A = this chain, B = another copy of it.
Amino acid sequence: MDKKQREYKIIESALDMFSRKGFYSTTVAQIAKSIGMSVGHFYNFFPSKNSLAKASITFVTKKLADELHKINELNISSKDKIHMFVLSYLDFLEKNPQMIDYFFKVYLANREMFSQDGDSGFELAKAFIDEIEILINSGIESKEFCKKDFYVSFSCITGILGGITFLNGEGVLNKDVNIYAKELSDSIVKALQ
C-alpha cells in the first residue's frame, strides 16, 4: 500500500469517526488505532489533526464535485441534470452518510478551524461550488431556469438537499431516502424557475 492509499485510509476512517462522534470528541489516537497505525506514524501523513480535517473536507467535496461534473458533461436538459444530481446525491448519502455528515458536523461547525492560515473553507469546497455554478448557468442559458442572484440559486440546490440531509441525520426519514428523490428534484427545479 503506498503513501497515498494510506492517506485515504486515514481520511476515510477519520470521516467515519468525526461524523459519528464529532471532531473534538475523536482523538488522534483513536483514528490511528482504527486503522492499526501508531500515533507517531499518523503524524508522518498529516502534520496535525487540523490538517486532517482540511484534507477530509477537500476529499468529500472533490467526490461530490466529480459526481456532479460527470452529470454536467451529459447532453441532457438542466432539469434532468438536477434530477440526476439529486439521485446521485441521495445514493451517495445512503452509501457514505459519514462523508456528508462530516461536512455538516465538522465543516459547518468549526469554520474558525478552517479559516485560519489563509485558506477559507469556501476555498476547500471550491471544486464543488464551481460545478454547481456550471449547472445553474447552463440552466439559465437554456431558459429552463430563471436568472437570479447566484447565491440564491446556490441555496435552492444545496439548501434543499442540506435540509433533507439534516433530517436524515435526525433519523426521522424513511430508511430508503430514494423515495424522496422525485419530490425533491421537482421542488429544486421549481425553486430555480
Chain A positions near chain B (C-beta within 8 angstroms): 20-25, 104-106, 108-113, 120-122, 148-149, 151-156, 158-164, 166-167, 169-173, 179-180, 183-184, 187-188, 190-193
> In the complex, A170 Cα to B151 Cα: how many Å?
11
> In the complex, A111 Cα to B192 Cα: how many Å?
31
Question: A191 touching B156 by the CB < 8 A rule?
Answer: yes
Question: B22 touching A112 by the CB < 8 A rule?
Answer: yes
User: In the complex, what's the smallest C-beta–C-beta distance from A82 to chain B, in angstroms?
Assistant: 12
Note all chain B residues with C-beta closer than 8 A to A20.
Answer: 112
> In the complex, A95 Cα to B161 Cα: how many Å?
27
> In the complex, A188 Cα to B193 Cα: how many Å?
11
Secondary structure class of chain A's binding surface, majority of residues: helix
User: In the complex, what's the smallest C-beta–C-beta distance from A139 to chain B, in angstroms?
Assistant: 13
> In the complex, A105 Cα to B160 Cα: how many Å?
19
> In the complex, A193 Cα to B193 Cα: how many Å?
12
Note all chain B residues with C-beta closer than 8 A to A164.
Answer: 151-152, 155, 159
> In the complex, A25 Cα to B109 Cα: how many Å?
11
Give the residue of B161, B169, B187 whose beta carbon is less than 8 angstroms from that of A192: B187
Those 10 A-B pairs whose CB atoms lie nearest each other, nearest first: A109-B109, A159-B163, A155-B163, A191-B191, A159-B159, A24-B24, A187-B191, A159-B160, A190-B190, A152-B183
